[in-house]
A and B are shown apart, each in its own frame.
Chain A
Amino acid sequence: MSQVTRERLFGFRHAFDDRVTVVLTLVALVLFLLAPVLILVVTRAAKSTSDKKKELWDRYRSWIWLALFILIPILAGAFWTILAVATLSSLSYREYARITGLFRERTISLIVVIGILFITFAALDNWYRLFVALFPLTVALIATGGLIPDQPKGYIQRVGLGVLGFALFGSALGHLGYMANDWNYRPILLLIIFAVELNDIFAYICGHLFGHRKFVPNTSPNKTVGGALGAIALTTPLFAIGAHFVWFGTALDTPVRLVGLGIIVSVVGQFGDLMLSSIKRDLGLKDTAKLIPGHGGILDRFDSLILVAPAVFHYVNYFVGFAVGQPQQIFSG
């Protein structure tokens, strides 16, 4: 393993090399310090009930934990980042499998979990060709594993659910881990996660302010056209400005391309949210689990990130590329 690779994987001393990382970490810190004041003011002014107050404080406390689970691995090194993404993938798949009932199909679940482990290895190894190959290969394995019980009844269902599970939580979310192979992965990941979470908040606030016309009342009755457009209008410039500093002087650094990337983050993020709403509504559930107080399950919190990861990855990969100049096949080469 070369010195450069070791520094990228474990070099926490480089945590604040990039200005964008410093700014985003500081913003997060300030938000966490200001939030209690804001919650106090809002609950006093609105004369909120004690239930509503408790929910807000639960959410706040959970956000502190979530922020630590996100920030610490990203700052600590690419190795920890990829492991954190693998954990996120596994927990997300677990919730998905439990709410759809796919967890009762042991063989298929096992194949999906093995697929997630291989994706994690491909990301750690910086082996792009394996990373790409794993999608069709795992799908083939799921289709084969579905044959094992020798029961054609329900074959399409269990294989279909397995493939969707791997596509969303193994392959799509795996792109987030693969991004850590870029030398400058810290600001990239922080910016994406920040923008996606802010996008949710913007949609919520704008929906309250200008939301009149319902967006998709059957899928998610609280979403409005105003909220969706407002989120695009606010997230796009913020992301574009951040991305300008992250990809400074590269082929991506033109106003049109940066705005394009911002729109992708905002629009695809909202689609991810709607996707999970559809899954839950189809099953007749409100939350995917009761794991994070005030939020629900892991999926309820990170739904918007799932589709954004591959979209941003391939957009950036088209113009600039990821992991340019980094040694490939670190362990297997």
Chain B
Amino acid sequence: MEPWNLQPARDTGLTPSERFRSVRRESGLLENIAHQVCFLLLRSYFAIAHRLTIMGREKLPAHGPFVLAANHCSHLDALALGTALTRRYRERAFPIAAGDVFFQSTVTSTFSAIMLNALPMWRKNCGPHALADLRQKLQEERAIFIIFPEGGRSRNGSMMPFKHGLGMLVAETNVPVVPCGLVGTFEALPPHQNFPRPVSVKLVIGDALEFASIANDRTGWSQIAATVESCVRDLVAQSRTA
């Protein structure tokens, strides 16, 4: 017989509100059902309101861990990327969201955790340990992260340079990074608007990149950021012409 190896949930000992904000959070049965329902609704929404077309879905790795990295100019971005993942990926998919927007109050953090399965990234006062925790979670739980390496929504729709954080997650690991290009979300819901407009949205998924041989240091991180950034730029240009 297998030796007994009981592992309590990683978030054991946290109060409910601490748990929603924690990177250690592990979803239970009800939360999983909520994620699946939310995902189903979003899928129909994007199909009807934005006639979402996804190209290159076959390039997604067969299972986690991997990171989806895309350009960012709208709140719709993470949701659109989420719908690109089929049901079997969904359970392990975590959009990495800005802590100061999605996890500030108990109400928003409850919503972000229960409906979107999001994890917080604090843009101010975030030490290196925050990224180390995420890096560990990615590998141990074979997770799928949805990441926007620009570090915020572009206010004019043009891409901003990628930050190092992405490199800190994947340097010296076999975790693939899948670059994604999104077009149309800025026109549908730019940062200065509150309600989306029915504009069609296109998502192009590129070939997965691996950075096992890139050093886990500052130069390595910039190299990773630059590589992924140029891939995403190409994909965005490609989807505009396609």
> Are B4 and A103 in contact (CB-based, < 8 A)?
no
A75 to chain B, nearest CB (A): 28
> Are B28 and A287 in contact (CB-based, < 8 A)?
no
Contact partner of A99 (CB less than 8 A), chosen from B4, B9, B14, is B9
When distances are taken between beta carbons in the complex, the residues of chain A under 8 Å from B28 are 94, 97-98, 103, 109
Give 26 pairs: A residue, B residue, CB < 8 Å, sorted on A: A94-B28, A97-B28, A98-B8, A98-B9, A98-B12, A98-B28, A99-B8, A100-B8, A101-B7, A101-B8, A101-B9, A103-B9, A103-B28, A103-B29, A106-B32, A109-B28, A110-B29, A153-B2, A154-B2, A156-B1, A157-B4, A283-B8, A287-B13, A289-B12, A289-B13, A291-B15
> Are B6 and A100 in contact (CB-based, < 8 A)?
yes
B15 to chain A, nearest CB (A): 5
> Are A99 and B12 in contact (CB-based, < 8 A)?
yes
Confirm or deny: A285 has a beta carbon within 8 angstroms of a beta carbon on chain B: yes
Q: Report the bound CA distance from A291 to B15 in whole Å.
A: 6
Confirm or deny: B191 has a beta carbon within 8 angstroms of a beta carbon on chain A: no
> Are B16 and A291 in contact (CB-based, < 8 A)?
yes
Confirm or deny: A290 has a beta carbon within 8 angstroms of a beta carbon on chain B: yes
Chain B, range 1-41, C-beta contacts under 8 Å to A: 1-2, 4, 6-9, 12-16, 18, 26, 28-29, 32
Contact partner of B12 (CB less than 8 A), chosen from A104, A153, A282, A285, is A285
Q: For the complex, count residues of B whose C-beta is within 8 A of A.
A: 17
Give B residues with C-beta under 8 Å from A.
Answer: 1-2, 4, 6-9, 12-16, 18, 26, 28-29, 32
When distances are taken between beta carbons in the complex, the residues of chain B under 8 Å from A291 are 15-16
When distances are taken between beta carbons in the complex, the residues of chain A under 8 Å from B29 are 103, 106, 109-110, 113
Known: A98-B8, A109-B29. 12 other contacts (CB 8 A): A97-B28, A99-B8, A99-B9, A99-B12, A101-B8, A103-B28, A104-B26, A283-B6, A285-B13, A289-B12, A290-B14, A290-B18
Residue of A nearest to B18 (CB): A290
> Are A290 and B8 in contact (CB-based, < 8 A)?
no
Point out which of B1, B2, B28, B29 has the most chain A C-beta atoms below 10 A from its C-beta.
Answer: B29
Q: Report the bound CA distance from A87 to B9 in whole Å.
A: 21
> Are A285 and B2 in contact (CB-based, < 8 A)?
no
When distances are taken between beta carbons in the complex, the residues of chain B under 8 Å from A106 are 29, 32
Contact partner of A290 (CB less than 8 A), chosen from B2, B9, B15, B32, is B15
Taken residue by residue from 86 to 128, chain A's Cβ proximity to chain B (1 for < 8 Å, 0 otherwise) reads as 0000000010011111011010011001000000000000000
B74 to chain A, nearest CB (A): 33
B91 to chain A, nearest CB (A): 9
**Chain A interface helix/strand/loop/mixed:** helix
B13 to chain A, nearest CB (A): 6
Give A residues with C-beta under 8 Å from B.
Answer: 94, 97-101, 103-104, 106, 109-110, 113, 153-154, 156-157, 282-283, 285, 287, 289-291
When distances are taken between beta carbons in the complex, the residues of chain B under 8 Å from A153 are 2
* Chain A to chain B: the 3 pairs with minimum beta-carbon distance, closest first: A98-B9, A101-B7, A99-B8
Q: Report the bound CA distance from A285 to B8 in whole Å.
A: 9
Q: Report the bound CA distance from A106 to B14 in whole Å.
A: 22
Residue of B nearest to A99 (CB): B8
A289 to chain B, nearest CB (A): 7
> Are A290 and B6 in contact (CB-based, < 8 A)?
no
Contact partner of A157 (CB less than 8 A), chosen from B2, B8, B12, is B2
Q: Report the bound CA distance from A109 to B8 in whole Å.
A: 15
Q: Report the bound CA distance from A312 to B116 in whole Å.
A: 45
When distances are taken between beta carbons in the complex, the residues of chain B under 8 Å from A285 are 8, 12-13
Q: Report the bound CA distance from A287 to B8 in whole Å.
A: 12
When distances are taken between beta carbons in the complex, the residues of chain B under 8 Å from A97 are 28
Q: Report the bound CA distance from A154 to B2 in whole Å.
A: 6
When distances are taken between beta carbons in the complex, the residues of chain A under 8 Å from B14 are 290
Q: Report the bound CA distance from A122 to B16 in whole Å.
A: 32
When distances are taken between beta carbons in the complex, the residues of chain A under 8 Å from B4 are 157
> Are B32 and A101 in contact (CB-based, < 8 A)?
no
A113 to chain B, nearest CB (A): 7
Residue of B nearest to A291 (CB): B16
When distances are taken between beta carbons in the complex, the residues of chain B under 8 Å from A113 are 29
When distances are taken between beta carbons in the complex, the residues of chain B under 8 Å from A103 are 9, 26, 28-29
A153 to chain B, nearest CB (A): 5
A280 to chain B, nearest CB (A): 10
Q: Report the bound CA distance from A110 to B28 in whole Å.
A: 10
A307 to chain B, nearest CB (A): 22
B25 to chain A, nearest CB (A): 11
Q: Report the bound CA distance from A157 to B2 in whole Å.
A: 8
When distances are taken between beta carbons in the complex, the residues of chain A under 8 Å from B16 are 291
Q: Report the bound CA distance from A4 to B178 in whole Å.
A: 65
Q: Report the bound CA distance from A282 to B2 in whole Å.
A: 17
Q: Report the bound CA distance from A289 to B12 in whole Å.
A: 6
When distances are taken between beta carbons in the complex, the residues of chain B under 8 Å from A154 are 2
When distances are taken between beta carbons in the complex, the residues of chain B under 8 Å from A94 are 28
When distances are taken between beta carbons in the complex, the residues of chain A under 8 Å from B12 are 98-99, 285, 289
When distances are taken between beta carbons in the complex, the residues of chain A under 8 Å from B7 are 101
Q: Report the bound CA distance from A109 to B28 in whole Å.
A: 9
Q: Report the bound CA distance from A147 to B51 in whole Å.
A: 40
When distances are taken between beta carbons in the complex, the residues of chain A under 8 Å from B2 are 153-154, 157
Q: Report the bound CA distance from A289 to B32 in whole Å.
A: 20
